[in-house]
């Protein structure tokens, strides 16, 4: 085991790298289409409540485990658990869980890079909404392409990781956030002023609570976990880069605030525009790819804005991919003593092969335009990951931190509250011990019932 870790130079560096892992396709691709599928405003409210009630506490726990253990999630848990207990098995499962997430994330990240290229080269210029939808269907139908772009994502990601976290990930995250914010705000202005967008704005912002169902609340919990990257120990690794002079609740709130503002802005771009162009906001994972090119066609210099937008989205997706890769890398390096080069090569090949089923799965589905919900491998992998693995992982971290048969409440809160900043309140204990794991369990099971 190698307990030493490259320390991140600055506090801002931590925030950007950690937010870089959180902010990604979850905010810009997943949030708008899930919001569209599950009824708009009411879903958004439940999602925000879950970020507070479930997301922040679990994020604090992941950071605490990572900072106290100073290792990848599995070895950190092994270091912190009672001697002889087996909590670190959940750490192994968490790392495997990350691999499941990558199995579809790499494919969608590939779509984003492809769309950067196609927007730049003017493929969508002058096309109407129907043609743009058909063109997305045709793109998905071409397996050689979807695999090619996915392979680029894997190669770029492991290429960066093979050169070391500090040199790679930090450098990429730094200039990204400002650019993404800026371009989203430009697009919000264009989108909400499109003729016919008003209906979309009220769908998005006006909560109709009669829309709420088990499926909706389950989807909101999944999205809250997915967007914060919690449940697979992905954020724990960043805890191991935070100095002990900062309390972890404050750090968590900063990251959640950044992540949430990007998601809310992305929703305000996509949903009003979908209504304006008569695209079904509930049409599923293709939503941003069939909506955005229409917006770019309505902007002066739209080709360039569009390419820039997909560039930032691709970079945001890449920083997330790299963070999950790095988790896998750190594990195989710490655990099996692999060199960084060897880890990058072997993990890269493995992730590429495991990503193939998703990347290849659209060929036969290309007639369904735009890609609808419940259509195959992407949805299945997403459902397993987001609605099952992340909640189960979250419960395991809660039990580990809050109960004395795990790491234990006192040690956990001592770690979370070391330093300055917002305190993780100790009076919250009954909620964490008795209520939080039950809510997660209940929502997860409720989601299964509704799906059956
Ligand atoms: N949070 C990432 C995003 O929003 C996705 C992710 C989920 C990353 C789970 C790691 C673990 O894009
Ligand atoms: Na996110």
Read off the DSSP letter of residue 131.
H
Cβ–Cβ < 8 Å for 402, 430: no
Asked whether 109 lines ligand 1 (CB < 6 A), one says no
The pick from 226, 231, 385 for probing ligand 1's pocket by mutation, whose C-beta has the most ligand atoms within 8 angstroms, reads 226
Asked whether 101 lines ligand 1 (CB < 6 A), one says yes
Q: Which ligand is nearest to the CA of 258?
A: 2
229 Cα to the center of ligand 1, angstroms: 4
Reference 105, options 294, 257, 324; nearest CA is 324
Query: d(Cα 435, Cα 368) in Å, to the nearest integer?
Result: 42
What pTM, to 2 d.p., does this model score?
A: 0.94
The pick from 30, 234, 235, 326 for probing ligand 1's pocket by mutation, whose C-beta has the most ligand atoms within 8 angstroms, reads 234
Cβ–Cβ < 8 Å for 79, 301: no
404 Cα to the center of ligand 2, angstroms: 31
Closest Cα to atom 11 of ligand 1: 229
246 Cα to the center of ligand 2, angstroms: 23
Asked whether 269 lines ligand 1 (CB < 6 A), one says no
The whole-angstrom distance between residue 247's C-alpha and the CA centroid of its chain comes to 24
Instruction: Please give the backbone phi and psi of residue 407, each rounded to the nearest 5 degrees, phi first.
Output: -75, -40
373 Cα to the center of ligand 1, angstroms: 20
Q: Which ligand is nearest to the CA of 389?
A: 1
Q: Which residues are bridge partners to 246 per DSSP? A: 420
Query: d(Cα 212, Cα 423) in Å, to the nearest integer?
Result: 33
Burial class of residue 300 (count of CB atoms within 10 Å of its CB; 0-12, 13-18, 19+): exposed
Burial class of residue 310 (count of CB atoms within 10 Å of its CB; 0-12, 13-18, 19+): buried
Closest Cα to atom 6 of ligand 1: 229
Q: If you write DSSP's letter for every residue of 11-30 in order, what string do you get?
A: HHHHHHHHHHHHSSHIIIII
Read off the DSSP letter of residue 428.
G
Q: Say how many C-beta atoms besides its own lie within 10 A of residue 441's C-beta.
A: 13
Total residue count of the chain as it appears in this document: 452
Contact partners, residue 264, CB within 8 Å, separation at least 6: 44
Asked whether 324 lines ligand 1 (CB < 6 A), one says yes
Taking phi over 0 as left and psi of -120 to 50 as alpha, with beta for the rest, 278 belongs to left
Tell me if residue 147 falls in helix, strand or coil: helix
Considering Cα of 250, then 254, then 259, then 263, what sign does the dihedral take? positive
Q: Which ligand is nearest to the CA of 317?
A: 1
Atom of ligand 1 nearest to the CA of 316: 12
Specify the pLDDT at position 42.
Answer: 97
Digit-by-digit pLDDT tens for the chain (452 residues) are 444 444 545 566 677 778 888 999 999 999 999 999 999 999 999 999 999 999 999 999 999 999 999 877 888 999 999 998 999 999 999 999 999 999 999 999 999 999 999 999 999 999 999 999 999 999 998 999 999 999 999 999 999 888 875 555 665 666 777 888 899 999 999 999 999 999 999 999 999 999 799 999 999 999 999 999 999 998 998 887 788 889 999 999 999 999 999 999 999 999 999 999 999 999 999 999 999 999 999 999 999 999 999 999 999 999 899 889 988 888 888 889 999 999 999 999 999 999 999 998 887 544 444 444 445 889 989 999 999 999 999 999 999 999 999 999 999 999 999 999 999 998 999 999 999 999 999 999 998 888 77
Query: d(Cα 364, Cα 368) in Å, to the nearest integer?
Result: 9
Asked whether 22 lines ligand 1 (CB < 6 A), one says yes
Specify the pLDDT at position 390.
Answer: 97
Asked whether 232 lines ligand 1 (CB < 6 A), one says yes
309 Cα to the center of ligand 1, angstroms: 19
Specify the pLDDT at position 368.
Answer: 45
Taking phi over 0 as left and psi of -120 to 50 as alpha, with beta for the rest, 419 belongs to left
Instruction: Please give the backbone phi and psi of residue 284, each rounded to the nearest 5 degrees, phi first.
Output: 100, -160
Read off the DSSP letter of residue 419.
S
Query: d(Cα 176, Cα 267) in Å, to the nearest integer?
Result: 19
193 Cα to the center of ligand 1, angstroms: 31
Query: d(Cα 193, Cα 208) in Å, to the nearest integer?
Result: 23
Query: d(Cα 208, Cα 194) in Å, to the nearest integer?
Result: 23
Atom of ligand 1 nearest to the CA of 98: 11
Asked whether 327 lines ligand 1 (CB < 6 A), one says no
Contact partners, residue 265, CB within 8 Å, separation at least 6: 181, 184, 185, 188
């Amino acid at each position: 085991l190698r307990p030493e870790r490259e320390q991140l130079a600055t506090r801002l560096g931590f925030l950007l790298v950690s937010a870089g892992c959180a902010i990604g396709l979850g905010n810009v691709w997943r949030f708008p289409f899930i919001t569209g599928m599950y009824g708009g405003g009411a879903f958004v409210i439940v999602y925000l409540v879950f970020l507070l009630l479930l997301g922040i506490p679990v994020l604090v726990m992941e950071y605490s485990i990572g900072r106290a253990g100073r290792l990848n999630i599995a070895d950190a848990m092994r270091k912190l658990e009672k001697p002889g207990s087996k909590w670190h098995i959940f750490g192994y499962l968490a790392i495997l869980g990350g691999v499941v997430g990558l199995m579809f994330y790499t494919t969608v990240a590939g779509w984003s890079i492809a769309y950067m290229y196609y927007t730049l080269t003017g493929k969508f210029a002058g096309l109407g909404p129907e043609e743009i939808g058909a063109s997305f269907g045709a793109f998905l139908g071409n397996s050689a392409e979807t695999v090619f772009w996915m392979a680029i994502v894997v190669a770029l990601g492991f290429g960066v990781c093979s050169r070391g976290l500090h040199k790679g990930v930090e450098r990429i995250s730094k200039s990204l956030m400002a650019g993404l914010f800026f371009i989203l705000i430009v697009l919000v202005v264009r989108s909400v002023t499109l003729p016919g967008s008003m209906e979309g704005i009220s769908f998005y912002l006006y909560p109709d609570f009669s829309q709420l169902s088990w499926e909706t609340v389950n989807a909101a919990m999944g999205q809250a976990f997915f967007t914060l990257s919690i449940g697979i120990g992905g954020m724990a690794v960043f805890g191991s880069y935070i100095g002990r002079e900062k309390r972890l609740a404050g750090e968590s709130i900063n990251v959640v605030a950044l992540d949430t503002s990007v998601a809310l802005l992305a929703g305000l771009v996509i949903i009003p525009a979908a209504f304006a162009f008569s695209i079904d906001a509930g049409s599923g994972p293709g939503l941003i790819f069939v909506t955005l090119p229409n917006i770019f066609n309505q902007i002066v210099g739209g080709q360039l804005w569009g390419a820039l937008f997909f560039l930032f989205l691709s970079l945001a997706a890449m920083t997330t991919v790299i963070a999950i890769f790095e988790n896998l890398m750190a594990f195989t390096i710490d655990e099996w003593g692999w060199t960084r080069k060897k880890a990058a090569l072997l993990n890269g090949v493995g992730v590429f092969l495991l990503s193939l089923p998703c990347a290849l799965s659209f060929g036969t589905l290309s007639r369904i335009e735009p890609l609808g919900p419940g259509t195959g491998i992407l949805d299945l992998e997403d459902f397993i990951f987001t609605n099952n693995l992340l909640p189960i992982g979250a419960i395991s971290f809660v039990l580990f931190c809050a109960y004395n048969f795990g790491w234990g409440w006192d040690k956990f809160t001592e770690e979370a509250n070391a330093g300055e900043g917002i305190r993780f309140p100790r009076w919250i204990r009954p909620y964490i011990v008795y209520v939080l794991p039950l809510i997660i369990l209940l929502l997860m099971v409720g989601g299964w019932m509704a799906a059956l």
